Structures are given as C-alpha cells and as structure tokens.
Amino acid sequence: MKIVKTTAEILSLLNQYNKKKSIGFAPTMGALHEGHISLIERSKKDCDITVCSIFVNPTQFNSQEDFKNYPKEINADILKLQKANCDIVFIPEKSNLYSENEKAREYDFGILSSVMEGKYRIGHFNGMATIVEKLLNIIQPTKAFFGEKDLQQLQIVKELVKKEKMSTEIIGISTIRELNGLAKSSRNKLLTVKQKIEASLIYKCLCYCKENKSLGITKLKDYISTIFNKNNYVALEYVEFVSLKTLQPIQSWNEDNTNAICIAAYVNHVRLIDNIIL
C-alpha cells in the first residue's frame, strides 16, 4: 500500500498505471470503521486499483467545535486500510486542496439540498460537494463509493457528477450496523457504551416503520415522535418520509424501494443520522 500526501504525488503515482486499468475511489474523513472498509472491499471487487482519501474537510462543518472534536485516528486508519489491501491512501493537508482563504463553492442542487440536512446544516452540502469535486478531478476514478447511511449526500453527489459532466460512476453501498442496529459512524466513537445502547432507538423506529408500513405515514410519524418524546437520552431533530429520487416529503407510499425514512437525532451532543429504504 502506498501513502501519498500531495496532489503532485498522487497524480504522478496514478500516471504510472496502465490507462486501461479501472480506478475505484472511497473518499473518507478518517476514523475508519467497518462501513468505510465495506467501500474498500467493493472497490477491490469492481476495480483494478483502489484509492482511499482521508481528509477532515473544514468547509462542510457548521460548528468549529464539531470540526475540532471530529475523531482523528490516522495510524489506526492506515493499519485498517493495509489489512483491507487498499492500494493507495491519499492524506492531503488543507493547503494542498484549498488556496488561502478559499471558501466552499456555491452550488444549486435545487430541492435535493433544501430539505433535511440542508435545512438543519446550512452550507454543509456546498462544503461536501466542493471537496468531492476536487478529489474526483484529481483522482478521476472509474467508480466512487459512498455509504447509503448518508443518503442525502449520496443523492447530491450523483447530481454533482451529472451537473459537472464527470465520467465517474457513483455507487451507493448498504449501511453497516453495530450488533444493536446502530448505524456505523465515526461519531459513534464519541458515545459511551450506555449512549450507544440508547442510540439504538433510531434503528428500532426505522424497523417499526418497515414492519408496520400498512399503518400509513401519518400514524408512523406520530409514533416516532411519541417514542422519542418519552426517551430522556435521545433527542429527535427530524424524521422525514421522502421520495428516494427527489428527497421531497411524501404523504403516501410510492412503489416499493422508492421511499426513504430519514432520522436525525442527538445523543448528548453527538448528532447521528440514519435511514431505511422501503
């Protein structure tokens, strides 16, 4: 496994490969877990060369405290990637990706970015899309892999690639979960054992909706609100029943596998998101 830290280094390295070889790419912010590794494994299966980037992108954080507290475990990350047989790890400094005082680019993703995370984390998707566009332009992968846990991010990256006429195929990978159902997330490292147990409420509510779909959206939404209101450890920020394609709220079910239920909640000061596709 080769570790590179500058754009010049990774461009030089990628230029050494036969142009006919396919490149798979998994962009991450580090603090890697099984969910990230599943992206690497899928890339290894689909592509000749697998590249993983580790960069905690400052322009997608709404809070400086959140940015500062985001878990950083670079040595452990490198060991995990070696074990997964990743070919190249790209670990750039901010100065290698952003010019001095550079801000996030302003995008227009329309209705995709105006709901849910876009409503509660103003500017987040501009920052996320800015860094993804930069990394895709540098690496020019055949395929890029993103987790479905960040469902809105996945749909916006697909729209970004379409808008910018990039040739990269964006692949969504199923959410990997803890034994209690909690979606794997780097932020889980900020939770105590008890908080992780309490946070499983999020997935329990999603499963309840899947098992009781016939009750209808209004009753299910009321059920989730009631359950969270009774819980002293997990605070609901939002629950939305949306069309998978547009992410716009729905009042009744569309065809199977075209609906999504998305939840954002806080456990203490740690913000968690999850979803289920129905």
pLDDT recorded at residue 20: 86
pLDDT recorded at residue 62: 87
Residue segments in the chain with a per-residue pLDDT below the cut of 50: none
* Structural tokens at position 38: 């599943």
pLDDT recorded at residue 194: 97
Q: Are 190 and 69 in contact (CB under 8 A)?
A: yes
* Per-residue pLDDT tens digits for 251-278: 999 999 999 999 999 999 999 999 999 9
pLDDT recorded at residue 218: 97
pLDDT recorded at residue 121: 93
pLDDT recorded at residue 18: 83
pLDDT recorded at residue 63: 86
* Per-residue pLDDT tens digits for 105-133: 999 999 999 999 999 999 999 999 999 99
- What dihedral do alpha carbons 18, 20, 21, 25 form, nearest 10°? 110
- Structural domains in the chain, CATH included, are 2-173 (3.40.50.620), 186-273 (3.30.1300.10)
- Percentage of the residues of the chain whose pLDDT score is greater than 70: 100
Residue 124 among the catalytic residues: no
CA atoms within 13 A on the CB side of 222: 5
Based on the number of CB atoms within 10 Å of its own CB, is 131 exposed (0-12), middle (13-18) or buried (19 or more)? buried
DSSP 246: T
Q: How many angstroms from the chain centroid is the CA of residue 60?
A: 12
pLDDT recorded at residue 268: 93
